Structures are given as C-alpha cells and as structure tokens.
Chain A
C-alpha cells in the first residue's frame, strides 16, 4: 500500500505541475489572474452557498417531515436538484444563437417542468406503494403497529 501511495502521489504531482506550468506559460497574465479568481470563486460558491443550502434543506426536512414520507421527499429533491443544475444554463442561454446552428432552441423551462413532474409522480407512486405495503402488513399482523417507519 505504501509503495502505491508514493507512486500515485508522485505521478499526480508531476501531472498537476505540468498542467500548472502549461497554464502559466501559455495564458496571458491578465487572463491567468481571472482564471485564478474563477477557481477561488468555484470553491467559495460551492462551499459557501451550494453546500450550506443543501445541508440546511436536509436539516429542515428532518425537523418537519416524518421519516416515512421524508424518504420520498429527499429522493425527489435529489433527482430534481441534479437535473435542475444542468437545465439552468440552458434556460439562461435559450435562443442566443443563429437558428441554423440548431442549438438552444428548445423551451428548456417547460422541459425541466416535465422532468420534475415525472420525478414528482414517481416519488408519489413510491410513497403510495410504501403506505399500501405498511397497511397490508398491519392487516396480516392483526396489530396496529405493523410499521416501524411511522
């Protein structure tokens, strides 16, 4: 394991330094400074906005929605969030290019709504199936505490 760790680390440092030297040598200093700002900005936007917002939503769900339903709300929000991240730039850039390029000509906001609708429908179906399953189990057991997931 130790040998592998050293090989991987050295190879990684060599490749990363090659890339960094290529950037420093090949990109004009002004553009390089803006690239550095982009890189810092990427970390700040993710670690300072995207991640905390996600964590806060998760925390709020835990406080407000009982576990059995929460599972499906979480599932919906994860799927919806991942699709929305990709759809947002498309929505912003719609119809910005000449028609013959056949690029960005769809109603992406409408398309995203369709996708989110499908996700919501699937989550609701799964939740309904879960409830039906719990009720069935309760009937079989003849007790009122058939489900532990409440």
Chain B
C-alpha cells in the first residue's frame, strides 16, 4: 500500500521463518477499504441516532422534544438498534480482512508506528465492547457493574473519535483501496506493501493472482447475504409486517399483553397492590390543585389516538389508545400548553418513576386508560399511564399517581 509515493525496494525486511504468513488472495486493501467505508457509515448512523436517543432523556430547556412526526423516535431508534446489530458481523469481516496487519513485520518501526498501532487497538477494543454491550442490553443482559447508559454514551465518543483518527492515518491507503478495482488490489499480507516484492503493484502491470475459489466480490456478496439475513430476521420487532419472519427477533410485539410488549412489569416495579387498589386517586398539583377518583377518570377517558410505543431497546409497535388529553388535566389545574408538567408513578424506586412533559408534547400527550380496545393491563400501567408521540417508551410513565403542573 503506497504510504509513500516512491516504494523503497531496499533490502526486504523479511520476518523469521516461524512468523505467521498470510497468503489468501481474498485479502486486499481494495476489499478492506470497501468494507471499511460501509462500517464507517454504520458507526456514523449509530452515533447520530444514539445522540438523538440521548436527547430524549436530556433535552435542552430551550428546545424541548418535538411531538411530530409521531414516529420520529420509532424510526431513529429502530435504525440505531438494527444498524448496531448488523455492524457486529460487518466488523468481524472487516477485522478478518486486516488480520495480517497484527503480524506486521517489523512489529514496530518507529514511535509514530507504535502510536498508530495503539490507536488501532483502542479502536478495536472500544468498537467490540460498544457493539457487544449494546446487543446484550437489548437482551436485558447486564453482566457488568457499570451503568450501561453512561458507558454506552461516553464509549461512543471514543469509538467515533478513534474511527476519525483511523481514517486520518489510513487516508492514503483508503484512497488507493477505493480507486483500485476490487479484483486488482494488492494482496494484503503481514508485509507492508513497500517491502513485499510479490505485491501486485510492485510487479508492474501483471494481472493480479486469480482467486482459486471464492472471489473478493463473492466474499462481499456472501457477507452481505449473511448480514442481510440477520437484519431481515430481526427487524420484525420494529417493522411490524416483518414480525412473522423474525427468526432472530429479540421481541415479538404481538405476543405482549394487549399485543404490546412490556419492559418493566408491575411485579418488577412492586406496584401490584397500589395500582389495583379501588381507592386509587390521581393527585393534580398546580395553581388549582385537585384529585380525581378511578370513577371520574373512567368517565373523562373518551379521547382516542393511534400512537406507537417505541423502546430504547429497538422494538416498537403502533397501538390504539383511549384516555384523557394531558392538556385537559393541566388546564383544569390552572396551567396551559406552556406549562412544565411532571408525571409521577406509584413506583417507589427506579430512575424512570417520573418524567417531564414539556413544550409541544404537553398538547399531544394522552393519559391513557385503554390500550387496543381493552382496559389497560396492569403491566401496561393500570389504572393510568402516559403516552405521547415521538417519545422514548421508558419516558411514558406507567401507574400514574400524581401530575405536577408549574
């Protein structure tokens, strides 16, 4: 690979005989650059959609989360999880294609080379940990002691930063790789291009070595089919029509109570007794505080809306809701559509036992009593829950007991 314009064919620095030798003609900078380009796009998509998801939890005061399009978070978070999942096999193919670089001879040529190798190891380590922990998170599997959200957020900057640095370092190789025809590119081995007299580019205009079996194009197509199969059989957890072929889908939305999955059950939240009590009331705090009984809530709940529920874990499903517009409750308490609203759950502990509703969402949110034509299942937040458009599922607080208007 032409890191310098003029190759130096001075005495080739050959590794000792016992050093690993890679000869597969499948590997090439031309192949790696193409896979790398796709991988860079995937990581960028994950980074941007990840920031949008972060924004759901920490919006700026002057720019509250919008309420439209109603499917906004459903699409961005569905893309985040689907792309992240597809990136796992893609990264494996990319790392396979450059594996000989681990055995570069000489192992370290200069201080600059040592720094470059260190940056690559950071990139590989951070990428794998980011993708694996992200995937385990959607399986609700947390075999680590740190806070997933915090580490996933900061590690994303390490990943995207190391990718940019990697592109900066490898830009000449990337340029060569993308310009070379896929079949013609140099065979990537443990020897740097300059030191490898067998490299196609050093041998002048000779035809490249023929692929004995699978070609580089065949490798790309096969990998694409494998990764495509992963996406097609897992995306059904958010693209509802594909649920029937979701052989590798983590969630099956239609199998949830009232055809909607649950993320935190009433049992996990320890609210079964409080939520099913007949004397449950909703307290509304504000300039004109009041309380509503279960009977009053049932009578007020006549507004219908079709809104998706979209989980940070990448599943989503559209549903028919019935309830009371939040604005109606807020107005009666002396507030209006500019009010800051906080809804609180019966759940005593947990980071998501309350949430803020601000800006455009105040006018579009519903305090739901019914889901898909039935009284809310207790796992869906009976007797009353919040549902709002373009809003992360976990922020649609369940088992409501109090609304604060300010």
Q: Is the CB of A9 within 8 A of B165?
A: yes
Q: Is the CB of A19 within 8 A of B154?
A: yes
Q: Is the CB of A82 within 8 A of B129?
A: no
How many residues of chain B have a CB within 8 Å of chain A?
85
Write the nearest CB–CB distance from B46 to chain A, whole angstroms: 14
Write the nearest CB–CB distance from B215 to chain A, whole angstroms: 8
- With A and B bound together, what is the CA distance between A40 and B256 in angstroms? 39
A41-75 vs B, Cβ < 8 Å mask (1 yes, 0 no)? 01100110011001100100110000110110011
Write the nearest CB–CB distance from B165 to chain A, whole angstroms: 3
Across-interface contacts of B88 in A (CB, < 8 A)? 85-86
B377-406 vs A, Cβ < 8 Å mask (1 yes, 0 no)? 101000000000000000000000000000
Write the nearest CB–CB distance from B36 to chain A, whole angstroms: 14
- With A and B bound together, what is the CA distance between A80 and B6 in angstroms? 42
A23 at the interface (CB under 8 A from B): yes
- Looking across the interface, which residue of chain B has its beta carbon closest to that of A71? B213
Q: Is the CB of B168 within 8 A of A8?
A: yes
B95-112 vs A, Cβ < 8 Å mask (1 yes, 0 no)? 110010010000000000
A98-142 vs B, Cβ < 8 Å mask (1 yes, 0 no)? 101111111010011011000100000000000000000000000
Write the nearest CB–CB distance from B146 to chain A, whole angstroms: 4
Across-interface contacts of B255 in A (CB, < 8 A)? 102, 105
Q: Is the CB of A86 within 8 A of B172?
A: no
Of the 9-residue stretches B8-16, B50-58, B244-252, B349-357, which lies at the interface with chain A? B244-252
Q: Is the CB of B151 within 8 A of A35?
A: yes
> CB within 8 A of B125: which of A15, A43, A54, A101?
A43
B146-181 vs A, Cβ < 8 Å mask (1 yes, 0 no)? 110011011111111111111111011001000000
- With A and B bound together, what is the CA distance between A90 and B92 in angstroms? 18
Across-interface contacts of A40 in B (CB, < 8 A)? 125
Question: Once A and B bind, how many residue pairs between them come within 8 Å at the CB atom?
Answer: 236
> CB within 8 A of A54: which of B96, B124, B150, B175?
B96
- With A and B bound together, what is the CA distance between A97 and B264 in angstroms? 10
> CB within 8 A of A86: which of B89, B165, B167?
B89
Of the 9-residue stretches B197-205, B221-229, B360-368, which lies at the interface with chain A? B221-229
Q: Is the CB of A98 within 8 A of B265?
A: yes
Q: Is the CB of B162 within 8 A of A12?
A: yes
Q: Is the CB of A8 within 8 A of B151?
A: no
Please provide the chain A residues from 74 to 91 with a CB less than 8 Å away from any CB of chain B in the complex: 74-75, 78-83, 85-87, 89-90
**Chain A to chain B contacts (Cβ below 8 Å), 26 pairs:** A11-B161, A15-B157, A16-B157, A22-B157, A26-B154, A28-B146, A34-B146, A39-B126, A42-B125, A42-B128, A43-B121, A43-B125, A50-B92, A58-B24, A74-B218, A82-B93, A86-B89, A86-B230, A90-B139, A100-B265, A101-B140, A101-B261, A102-B252, A103-B140, A106-B247, A112-B247
